[in-house]
């Protein structure tokens, strides 16, 4: 058994970590990002291997995990459904047993959350959720880090985490994996999500896995959800795996486009975020995503920095 495994943790949904673990991981991400920007080599994961399993498409998740692992001195194995036995019905349990005997950490992007839970239950090594139908915790990790970078003072221990307390995040659009993960984050870190979805696409607190429905408020009118918000965010109307519903969704979501009028109702210094990829003219107007309040490029870059901190934490525990 390699060092650290006795403390093995998975990261399958946002609520797998406590608030103080987030404070730690964000501080590590801040330090790791600074080193990267200064071209300082930092290779704590030499001889460690990450397996990345993709059952859905990806640009950001693949590049951020792969580049991040190489930067930390490790190496990466990339698997997809089409080029592995995963696509030929090898049981998940068997795949997990085999893959986790050969690598040190696994990242999976798949469909049902139950699949990643099954993999983790049979894995000898930490498993990270790189997006499921229900959750996208690595993305919210990056989004919160981006918010803190832009809005929080830094004290001796890192970002002032209280900067998140009492803040309002407006979620405009589908009650999807991103929305569910925002709700978990709100419950853990003490902010409120103003959720506005078209009828039939609401968030389900049971699926989101939250205990306290006080962490979010539902608004029929997306403009009302944006009123007073510190952060406005949205996502595609049709997530991966739901393409057959595309036509119906295009009609249902027509009024859920984040435009300049919605942003004008938010706080004057509100940030705009989108996990990307985006469809300008659908869920967001070009003037918003390409405008001065948008931090989507920082948000995308920060995927790499927070995931480096996440892998360091899962493999090595707390440093120092």
Is 58 a binder of ligand CP (CB under 6 A)? Answer: yes
CA distances from 136 to 110, 131, 300 (A): 11, 4, 14
SS3 at position 149: helix
Does residue 235 have an active-site annotation?
yes
Using CA atoms in the order 108, 20, 216, 61, what is the torsion angle rounded to 10 degrees?
Answer: -20
Site for ligand NVA in 149-178 (CB under 6 A): 176-178
> Rounded to whole angstroms, how far apart are CA atoms 131 and 109?
5
Does residue 122 have an active-site annotation?
no
Among 144, 188, 257, 275, the residue binding ligand NVA under the rule CB under 6 A is 275
> Rounded to whole angstroms, how far apart are CA atoms 256 and 6?
47
Is 276 a binder of ligand CP (CB under 6 A)? Answer: yes
Q: With CB cut-offs between 5 and 8 Å by kind, which of ligand NVA, ligand CP, none does residue 59 bind? A: ligand CP
Does residue 136 have an active-site annotation?
yes
CA distances from 12 to 108, 137, 202 (A): 9, 7, 22
Q: With CB cut-offs between 5 and 8 Å by kind, which of ligand CP, ligand NVA, none does residue 8 bind? A: none
Q: Which is nearer to ligand CP, 8 or 276 (CB)?
A: 276
Binding part of the chain for ligand CP, among 59-67, 70-78, 182-190, 204-212 by CB under 6 A, reads: 59-67
CB of 56 to ligand NVA, least distance (A): 7
Is 302 a binder of ligand NVA (CB under 6 A)? Answer: no
Site for ligand CP in 117-136 (CB under 6 A): 131
Q: Under rule CB under 6 A, how many of the chain's residues touch ligand CP?
A: 8
Q: Which is nearer to ligand NVA, 176 or 294 (CB)?
A: 176
CB of 276 to ligand NVA, least distance (A): 7
> Rounded to whole angstroms, how far apart are CA atoms 216 and 194?
6
SS3 at position 253: coil
CA distances from 148 to 44, 50, 153, 269, 298 (A): 25, 28, 8, 14, 12
> Rounded to whole angstroms, how far apart are CA atoms 1 and 167?
43
Is 275 a binder of ligand CP (CB under 6 A)? Answer: yes
Does residue 88 have an active-site annotation?
no
SS3 at position 295: coil
Q: With CB cut-offs between 5 and 8 Å by kind, which of ligand NVA, ligand CP, none does residue 49 bind? A: none
Cβ neighbours of residue 85 closer than 8 Å, sequence gap 6 or more: 95
CB of 63 to ligand CP, least distance (A): 8
Is 208 a binder of ligand NVA (CB under 6 A)? Answer: no
Question: Could you list the active site residues?
Answer: 109, 136, 139, 235, 275, 303
Residues that bind ligand CP (CB under 6 A): 58-61, 131, 139, 275-276
């Amino acid at each position: 058994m390699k060092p650290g495994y006795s403390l093995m943790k998975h990261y399958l949904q946002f609520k797998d970590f406590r608030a103080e673990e987030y404070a730690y991981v964000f501080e590590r991400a801040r330090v790791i990002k600074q080193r990267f920007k200064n071209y300082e080599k930092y290779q704590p994961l030499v001889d460690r291997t990450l397996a990345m399993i993709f059952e859905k498409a990806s640009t950001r998740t693949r590049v951020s995990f792969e580049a991040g692992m190489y930067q930390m001195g490790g190496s990466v194995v990339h698997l997809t459904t089409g080029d592995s036995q995963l696509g030929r019905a090898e049981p998940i349990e068997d795949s997990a047993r085999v893959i986790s005997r050969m690598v040190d950490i696994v990242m999976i992007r798949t469909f049902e959350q139950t699949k990643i839970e099954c993999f983790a239950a049979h894995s000898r090594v930490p498993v990270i959720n790189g997006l499921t139908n229900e959750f996208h915790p690595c993305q919210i990790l990056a989004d919160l880090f981006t918010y803190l970078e832009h809005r929080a003072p830094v004290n001796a221990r890192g970002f002032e985490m209280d900067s998140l307390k009492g803040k309002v995040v407006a979620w405009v659009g589908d009650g999807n994996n991103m929305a569910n993960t925002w709700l978990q984050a709100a419950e853990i870190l003490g902010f409120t999500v103003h959720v506005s979805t078209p009828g039939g696409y609401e968030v389900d607190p049971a699926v989101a896995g939250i205990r306290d429905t006080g962490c979010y408020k539902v608004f029929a009118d997306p403009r009302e959800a944006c009123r007073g918000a510190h952060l406005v965010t949205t996502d595609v109307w049709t997530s991966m795996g739901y393409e057959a519903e595309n036509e119906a969704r295009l009609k249902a979501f027509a009024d859920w486009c984040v435009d300049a009028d919605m942003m004008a109702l938010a706080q004057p210094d509100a940030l705009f975020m989108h996990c990307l990829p985006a469809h300008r003219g659908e869920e967001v107007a070009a003037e918003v995503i390409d405008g001065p309040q948008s931090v989507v490029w920082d948000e995308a870059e920060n995927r790499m920095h927070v995931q480096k901190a996440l892998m360091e934490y899962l493999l090595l525990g707390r440093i120092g």
